Amino acid sequence: MAVKLHGLAMSSCTALVLSCIHEKGVDFELVPVNLSAGQHKQPPFLAKNPFGLIPVLEDGDLTLFESRAISTYIAEKFKETGHDLMRHNNRNEAALVKVWAEVESQNYHPAISPIVYQFLVAPLLGQNPNQEIINTNLEKLSKVLDVYEAKLSTTKYLAGDFYSLADLHHFPSTYYFMKSPWASLVNDRPHVKAWWEDISSRPASVKVAEGMVLGQK
Ligand code: GS8
Residues with Cβ within 8 Å of 171's Cβ and at least 6 positions away in sequence, in order, are 15, 16, 19, 199, 200, 205, 208
Give the max Cα distance, the chain.
49
What φ, ψ does residue 107 adopt, rounded to 5°? -115, -50
How is 141-185 classified by DSSP, letter by letter? HHHHHHHHHHHHTTSSSSSSSS--HHHHTTHHHHHHHTTSTTTHH
CATH numbers and ranges of domains, the chain: 3-84 (3.40.30.10), 91-202 (1.20.1050.10)
Q: How far is the CA of 114 from the centre of ligand 1 (A)?
A: 13
- Residues of 42-78 as b/e, b for ≥16 C-beta within 10 angstroms? eeebeebbeeebbbbbbbeeeebbbbbebbbbbbeeb
Whether this model's pTM surpasses 0.95: yes
Q: How far is the CA of 55 from the centre of ligand 1 (A)?
A: 7
* Cβ atoms 142, 185 nearer than 8 A: yes
| Residue 31, beta-bridge partner list | 6
What's the CA gap between 60 and 1, in Å, rounded? 8
Residue of 45, 53, 66 to test ligand 1 pocket, by largest number of atoms within 8 Å of CB: 53
pLDDT values of the chain reduced to their tens digit, one per residue, 217 residues: 899 999 999 999 999 999 999 999 999 999 999 999 999 999 999 999 999 999 999 999 999 999 999 999 999 999 999 999 999 999 999 999 999 999 999 999 999 999 999 999 999 999 999 999 999 999 999 999 999 999 999 999 999 999 999 999 999 999 999 999 999 999 999 999 999 999 999 999 999 999 999 875 4
CB-hemisphere CA count at 13 Å for 69? Answer: 10
* Nearest in space to 57 (alpha carbons), one of 29, 80, 38: 29
* Cβ atoms 33, 45 nearer than 8 A: yes
Contact residues of ligand 1, CB 6 A cut-off: 11-13, 35, 40, 53-55, 66-68
